[in-house]
Amino acid sequence: MSQLNSKIPAGSIAEKWSNHKAKIKVVSPANKRKLDVIVVGTGLAGASAAASLGELGYNVTAFCYQDSPRRAHSIAAQGGINAAKNYQNDNDSVYRLFYDTIKGGDYRAREANVHRLAEVSPNIIDQCVAQGVPFAREYGGLLSNRSFGGVLVSRTFYARGQTGQQLLLGAYSALNRQIHEGTVKMYTRHEMMDVVIVDGKARGVIVRDMVTGEIKRFGAHAVVLATGGYGNVFFLSTNAMGCNASASWVAYKKGAFFANPCFVQIHPTCIPVHGSQQSKLTLMSESLRNDGRVWVPKKKEDAVKLQKGEIGPNDIADEDRDFYLERRYPSYGNLVPRDVASRAAKERCDAGFGVNREGMAVFLDFKYAIQRLGRDTIAKRYGNLFQMYEKITDTDPYKEPMQIYPAIHYTMGGTWVDYNLMTTVPGLYSLGEANFSDHGANRLGASALMQGLADGYFVLPYTIGDYLGNEIMTPRIQTTLPEFEEAEKGVVAKLEKLFNIKGKTPVDHFHKRLGTIMWDHVGMSRNEAGLKQAIEEIRQLREQFYSDLLVPGELKNVNPELEKASRVADFLELGELLARDALNRKESCGGHFREESATEEGEAKRDDENFAYVSAWEYKGINEEPVLHKEELVFETIALTQRSYK
C-alpha cells in the first residue's frame, strides 16, 4: 500500500552506513563543477551543507531570509551538543547514544538514521574544534562535558550557554570561506516562495527579494531545504519571529510528503507568558536542570498565597516543597526528558499548585546548588542565562527561584525523507529540523545541534552524490522553461491575492487566533473532540483570513506585513494537517499526548501494535483530504518497551 521507500541499507545496524557509503555513487571533481545545488536556509544544517558542498566543488547558491546567515535561529540554542566521545569514561558509546535517542523519541524514529547520527556525532565535535569553536575546557586543556535530560552519562559539549551561537558561527565561517572562494553564492534577505519541478525532479526555486519585492528564478540540479521547523504555527513559541514553514509547505504542495506533523516538542523550562501583549517566549536552557530543582508547594493554601502575591517562594520551608519530578521519577529526577517534565508541570498547575498570578508556573530553584557549589560556580555555568532571566522578569534568580512553564520549542515532524535525506520529490532534500527523521516523537536535549550538523557536514555531502551522479549529463537548468514561468506566476498570484483582500484585520490577529486554537486543542494534551473542534475552527479562521485580511504597504518594497501574511496563509493550512495527524494517532507517545491513551498514573501509553509507523501525508489539492501513507517502523536492534524514567 505504501509508496514510501526508505532505502534503509542492508546489514547489521552498525554496518549500514558503511555499507551504504561503499555502494553509492561518487561524482568526479571535473563533473562536480558542472552541477548546481540550491540550499535554502543557512542555519546549522544549511550553512554546514552549503559550505561542505562548496568545498567538494559543486556550484552552490544559498538563500536566507535574514540579513546574514549568522542570524538563523540555530544561534539561540543554549545548552549544548551531544556526541558519543566517551571522554568522561562513563561507559558512553555510539550504541548508548543511539539507544538513548530511540528511547527518548519514544520508539517512533527510524533505527538506521538514528544509528548513523550517533556514528557521525564524534566527527562533529572534531570539526567544530578545528574551526576554532571555543568549547568549554577543563583545567588540563581537555574538552568539558555536562549532562542533559533523558540520559545517564555526560556527553554534552558546550560553550557557556551559547553553544548554538558558537556552532553556527563555526558553520558560518566555513560558509564565508566558500563565499570568498566563489564556490557559494549567497543571497541574504531573500525568501523562498516555491520550488520548481521539471519532469518530476526538483530543478529550482522562486524567491522574493525582501528589499525590492522583486520575484526571481534560480535553477539547479538539486534543491536542499534546510528551513527549520513549524513551531510558530502556535504563534507563541521559542522560535524567532521570522521562523516559518513555508518552504516545507510549498514542497508539500508540490509532492513532498509531510511526516508526523503532530510530533511537537513542548519545552518544560520557558519563562511564563506575562500578558496579552507578548510576542514570543524565551527558553531557559535545559542545562539548568542539572543544578536547579523543580518544585511547587505541597499545600494548596501556600500556592494560593503565592498566586495572590501574599508570600514569596523563600517563605515556604523545605519540608513544604513538593519536588515533584524527584518524587515521581527517582532515578532521573529533574533530568527526565522534556515531554515528561512538561506534562508533570502541567499536571501540578492544573491541580491548582501553580505559583504565579495566573497559576501557570512552577519554580526552578538554584538555592540548593548555590549552597553546595557556591555562587561563583553557578555564575560560571549559567551566568548569561541568569542575566537574561533577570532582564526579562526583573527578578534575581540567585536570590529567588526562577518561574518556568512549558512552551512550544521544536518540531520533530517535518518533510518525509529517505535514508539519503531525499524527499518524495526526486532531487529535493530536507535537512535539520525541517525533516522528520531522527527524533521520533520527542527530541532529547542537545540533539538538535547534533542532527543539523550531522546532516549538513557528514550525511548530505555523501548521499547527494548518489543522485547527482546520474545528472552529470544534464546541462545547466534554464529558468526560461515554462515550469519556472508557471511557478513564478503562482507566486505573484498568491501575493497579489493577499495584498488585494484589503479587509480590516492585520495578519498578527489571525496568527494569534490560530495560536490560541492550536495551544488549547492541539497542545500539551489532546483529545478527539478537541481536535475535531480545532480542525473546524481553523477552517473558519482561514475563511475569515481570506475575506478580512489587511496588508498595508507596497508589493514592490520592504513589506514585513506581506511576508507574514504569506507565511500565516501556510500556517493556516499546516495547523489543520497537524490536528488531523494528532487525530489519526490515537496513541500517546513522546510529545503527543492523547488523553484517551494514558496509564492509571497519567503517563503516556504507546500503542505499538497499531501505531508503530511514520505517518506521511500526501497533498491532494486545496479542498481535498490528504492521503495518509504509513512507513512501518521496524525495530531490529532495540526491543520495544514502555518508556520508564522512574
The nearest distance, CB 479 to other proteins, in angstroms, is: 24
Closest CA to 365 of 420, 325, 394, 415: 325
Closest to other proteins by CB, 283 or 541: 283
Closest to other proteins by CB, 166 or 287: 166
Q: What is the DSSP letter of 294?
A: E
Chain Cα centroid distance, residue 407 = 13
The nearest distance, CB 268 to other proteins, in angstroms, is: 17
The nearest distance, CB 156 to other proteins, in angstroms, is: 14
Closest to other proteins by CB, 267 or 606: 267
CB 505 within 8 A of CB 549: yes
The nearest distance, CB 240 to other proteins, in angstroms, is: 4
187, β-bridge pairs: 63
The nearest distance, CB 530 to other proteins, in angstroms, is: 29
**Number of C-beta neighbours around residue 269 at 10 A:** 27
Closest to other proteins by CB, 5 or 395: 395
The nearest distance, CB 165 to other proteins, in angstroms, is: 6
Closest to other proteins by CB, 156 or 615: 156
Closest to other proteins by CB, 71 or 521: 71
Burial profile 31-64: b = 16 or more Cβ within 10 angstroms, e = fewer: bbebbbbbbbbbbbbbbbbbbbbbbbbbbbbbbb
Q: DSSP states of 48-101 as a string?
A: HHHHHHHHHT-EEEEE-SSSSGGGSGGGG--S-EE----TT-SS--HHHHHHHH
The nearest distance, CB 44 to other proteins, in angstroms, is: 13
Strand 258-259 versus strand 613-618 pairing type? antiparallel
CB 345 within 8 A of CB 362: yes
**Number of C-beta neighbours around residue 462 at 10 A:** 17
The nearest distance, CB 50 to other proteins, in angstroms, is: 11
CB 63 within 8 A of CB 41: yes
The nearest distance, CB 581 to other proteins, in angstroms, is: 28
Q: What is the DSSP letter of 604?
A: B
Closest CA to 402 of 496, 518, 286, 511: 286
Closest to other proteins by CB, 71 or 643: 71
Contacting residues for 165 by C-beta, under 8 A, at least 6 apart:
75, 76, 77, 159
Distance from C-alpha of 263 to C-alpha of 261, rounded to nearest angstrom: 6
Distances (CA, A) of 309 to 334, 356, 540: 26, 8, 40
184, β-bridge pairs: 60
The nearest distance, CB 390 to other proteins, in angstroms, is: 10
**Three-state secondary-structure class, residue 145:** coil
Closest to other proteins by CB, 277 or 623: 277
φ, ψ (nearest 5 deg) of residue 188: -90, 165
Dihedral, CA of residue 200, residue 452, residue 619 and residue 588, to nearest 10: 150
> At 98, which amino acid appears?
F
Tell me which H or E stretch contains 258: strand 258-259
CB 614 within 8 A of CB 630: yes
> At 4, which amino acid appears?
L
The nearest distance, CB 536 to other proteins, in angstroms, is: 27
Closest to other proteins by CB, 159 or 223: 159
Closest to other proteins by CB, 329 or 410: 410
CB 248 within 8 A of CB 230: yes
Closest to other proteins by CB, 104 or 461: 461
Closest to other proteins by CB, 108 or 190: 190
Burial of 481 (0-12, 13-18, 19+ CB in 10 A): middle
Closest to other proteins by CB, 134 or 602: 134
Closest to other proteins by CB, 313 or 591: 313
The nearest distance, CB 183 to other proteins, in angstroms, is: 11
The nearest distance, CB 11 to other proteins, in angstroms, is: 23
Q: What is the CA radius of gyration of the chain?
A: 24
The nearest distance, CB 563 to other proteins, in angstroms, is: 11
